[in-house]
Structure formats: C-alpha cells, structure tokens
C-alpha cells in the first residue's frame, strides 16, 4: 500500500455497514498484544457512542483506496459542556496495517478536525505493558507533538472475593463508618439523590491526579443522565451505582460498575470517588465492598472486575490492594497544544 492510496473519511453513526467496519478495525487494534482483552460486539460499541450526551464523538476510517477495505480507524471526542478547549483523539490501526502511513493519515485527520472545532489542547492515551517506560505507540504520539502528562495503571480483581476477606475488611472499617450508610442502585440513581450524585460524579476527574492536564468539572444534567442510562440498558448493559450517604442523606462517595451483556466479559469499574470533606472514614472501601455485593446479586456469573487508577493515587491503590486487585498494564496520558 502506498501512502497516497490511504483515504480517510468520517463515519456517520447511523451508517451501520461502515460502523461495523470501524468497530472491526477498533477491535483488531485494541486487542493486539493484549490477550486478556475481550471482543466487544459492534452493537455495544455503537450504544456507547449513542449514550454520549455532553460529548460529540467524531469517527474516522482509513481505507486502502476510495472503496477499498478499512485498514484503520480513529475516534475524536469533543466535550461540549466543559473542557471545550480539549480534543481527545484515539488512533486505532490493526497490526497487519501498521507502518504504512495509516496511523499518520488518521492522526492528521483528528488534528485537522480539532483545529476546525477551535480546540487548543490535544489529549490522548496510549496503552503500554506494565512498568514499561516507552513504546512505539508512545513514540507515535510524540511525533504529533504530544508529551507525557501522567500515568494510570489498569488492574483486575477476581470475584467474588473470599467471604473471610469481606468479613475482615468490614470489621476493620465499621468503626469508621459511624454516621454513614451505603446503598446500591441498579440502572439508575433515585430522583431525590440524582442532582447531588451527579455533582459528586463531576468531581471524579477534577480531583484525580492528572499531571499537567487540568480538567473542569463536567456535571451532567438529570435529563442527560437518564437518556444515557436508557441507551446503555437498552443495549443489554447493567449499571450498578453505589453511594455512601452521610447523616443528612447526602451522597458523599460513589462507586460505579458497568456489567456488559456478554456474561463472560469482565465488569468495568468506571469510577470510585470520596468527597474531600469525608475522607479518612474508609468510605472508598465501603462503596467498593457494597458494590461488589450488589454485583454478586445482579450478575453472579461475573469472575473479573477491571479498573483504571492514576499511579499517583496512593490512597485508592491501597484500597485496591486490600481487595486483591492485580496490576495488568499501564496507560500513558499525553498532552500537546494545537497552534
């Protein structure tokens, strides 16, 4: 394939045939060299994009010629509510099509669209082996002017955890939980808690260690939250959201689990957060234990839970270590400026 033959175009989300080609390329790239990573059905990928409420997803495919096969894909996330100076690109090229200029063509397309949207910062993530300092993917990102901002570690937990461990951790934490209670909700937080819950959820990224990448709080409206939840549930996913409530019944900590339609797929822990004013009470461990108990009821077939944490987030990593999470791989978050 010559570079001149690579044709990049945008993908309309309602163009099923082209979206399926996009999804196949994304899957081939995402799973390359990562045997622990399951295949995600194209319908589930589509639901994830349709569930976006306050972010626009621009999708691209690269073809070998005008009507040739898809040889790569890219997605560009454009926040519309907050952080509107940011663009989040992901370039996805299956191994058999790499080193042919496909990634470069897709990268240029995401840069051009970001500039057209008036974005001034470019933030991308690169998956690397656990403990690695560099990779060809990191070098690729550097070729577009990006530099490392911070790192996350991806970990997994075998579930259910041993009953003896659950009893031990609860006995250790219960003296610290006085004045708090924990509740889990399936496929939607109750209306009377929703506004406070969404405010708390909007602080997750703001309060997490993110190097030189500063984020504004993105607080979803109740209406957009309900729409997003409905799309995901209709696609066969189950959402388990757990909160710690203070003495006044206000949410002060949360944990979020996403159970995929495939019963053999790992469950994704989207976020765990404790409000600054309520730290030191073991609430992070409390919402995780409560969420895992709800998971055992709702999806007893689950065997693995996976999560991401900033490597500088020592308190949450300590909680994960107590539960038995095992590190899998790292992610390098990279940032650059657009002229």
Indicate whether 106 and 182 sit together in one domain. no
Indicate whether 13 and 71 sit together in one domain. yes
Indicate whether 114 and 164 sit together in one domain. no
Q: Can you give the residue range of the structural domain that contains 93?
A: 3-119
Indicate whether 20 and 167 sit together in one domain. no
Q: Please report whether residue 63 resides in a domain.
A: yes
Q: Which domain CATH number covers 101?
A: 3.40.630.30
Indicate whether 111 and 160 sit together in one domain. no
At which of 119, 146, 174 does a domain end? 119
pLDDT digits (tens, 9 = 90+) for 235-247: 999 999 999 999 9
SS in 3 state form for the chain? CCHHHEEEEEECCCCHHHHHHHHHHHHHHHCCCCCCCCCCCHHHHHHHHHCCCCEEEEEEEEEECCCCCEEEEEEEEEECCCCCCEEEEEEECCHHHCCCCHHHHHHHHHHHHHHHCCCCEEEEEEEEECCCCCCHHHHHHHCCCCEEEEEEEEEEEECCCCHHHHHHHHHHHHHHHCCCEEEEEECCCCHHHHHHHHHHHCCHHHHCCCCCCCCCCCCCCHHHHHHHHHHHHHCCCEEEEEEEECCCCCEEEEEEEEECCCCCCCEEEEEEEECHHHCCCCHHHHHHHHHHHHHHHHCCCCCEEEEEEECCCHHHHHHHHHHCCEEEEEEEEEEEECC
pLDDT band with cut points at 50, 70 and 90 for residue 2: very low
Indicate whether 102 and 248 sit together in one domain. no
Q: Please report whether residue 128 resides in a domain.
A: no
Q: Please report whether residue 148 resides in a domain.
A: no
Indicate whether 175 and 285 sit together in one domain. yes
pLDDT digits (tens, 9 = 90+) for 51-70: 999 999 999 999 999 999 99
pLDDT digits (tens, 9 = 90+) for 242-291: 999 999 999 999 999 999 988 889 999 999 999 999 999 999 999 999 99
Q: Please report whether residue 137 resides in a domain.
A: no
pLDDT averaged over every residue in the chain: 94
Indicate whether 260 and 204 sit together in one domain. yes
Indicate whether 84 and 202 sit together in one domain. no
At which of 119, 136, 166 does a domain end? 119
Indicate whether 114 and 177 sit together in one domain. no
Indicate whether 180 and 224 sit together in one domain. yes
| pTM to 2 decimal places | 0.93
Q: Please report whether residue 135 resides in a domain.
A: no
Domain count for the chain: 2
Indicate whether 13 and 101 sit together in one domain. yes
Q: Please report whether residue 149 resides in a domain.
A: no
Q: What pLDDT score does 4 carry?
A: 56
Q: Please report whether residue 111 resides in a domain.
A: yes
């Amino acid at each position: 394939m010559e570079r001149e033959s690579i044709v990049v175009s945008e993908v309309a989300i309602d163009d099923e045939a082209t979206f399926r080609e996009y999804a196949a390329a994304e899957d081939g790239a995402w799973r390359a060299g990562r045997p622990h990573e399951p295949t995600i059905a194209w319908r589930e990928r589509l639901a994830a994009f349709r569930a976006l409420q306050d972010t626009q997803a621009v999708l691209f495919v690269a073809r070998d010629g005008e009507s040739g096969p898809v040889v790569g894909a890219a997605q560009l996330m454009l926040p519309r509510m907050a952080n509107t100076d940011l663009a989040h690109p992901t370039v996805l090229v299956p191994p058999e099509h790499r080193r042919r200029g496909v990634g470069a063509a897709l990268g240029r397309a995401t840069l051009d669209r970001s500039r057209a949207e008036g974005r001034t910062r470019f933030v991308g993530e690169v998956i690397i082996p656990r403990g690695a300092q560099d990779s060809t993917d990191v070098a690729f990102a550097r070729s577009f002017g990006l530099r490392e901002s911070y790192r996350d570690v991806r970990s997994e937990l075998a579930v259910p955890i041993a009953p003896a461990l659950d009893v031990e951790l609860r006995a250790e934490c219960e003296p610290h939980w006085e004045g708090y209670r924990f509740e889990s909700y399936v496929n939607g937080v109750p209306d009377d808690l929703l506004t406070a819950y969404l405010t708390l959820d909007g602080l997750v990224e703001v309060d997490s260690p993110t190097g030189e990448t500063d984020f504004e709080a993105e607080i979803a409206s109740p209406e957009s939250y309900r729409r997003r939840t409905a799309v995901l549930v209709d696609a066969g996913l189950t959402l388990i959201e757990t909160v710690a409530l203070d003495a006044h019944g206000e949410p002060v900590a949360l944990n979020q689990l996403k159970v995929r339609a495939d019963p053999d797929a790992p469950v994704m822990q989207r976020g765990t957060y404790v409000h600054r004013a309520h730290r030191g009470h073991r609430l992070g461990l409390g919402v995780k234990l409560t969420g895992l108990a709800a998971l055992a009821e709702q999806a007893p077939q689950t065997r693995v839970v996976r999560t991401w944490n900033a490597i500088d987030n020592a308190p949450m990593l300590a909680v994960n270590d107590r539960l038995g999470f095992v590190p899998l791989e790292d992610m390098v978050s990279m940032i650059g400026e657009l002229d």
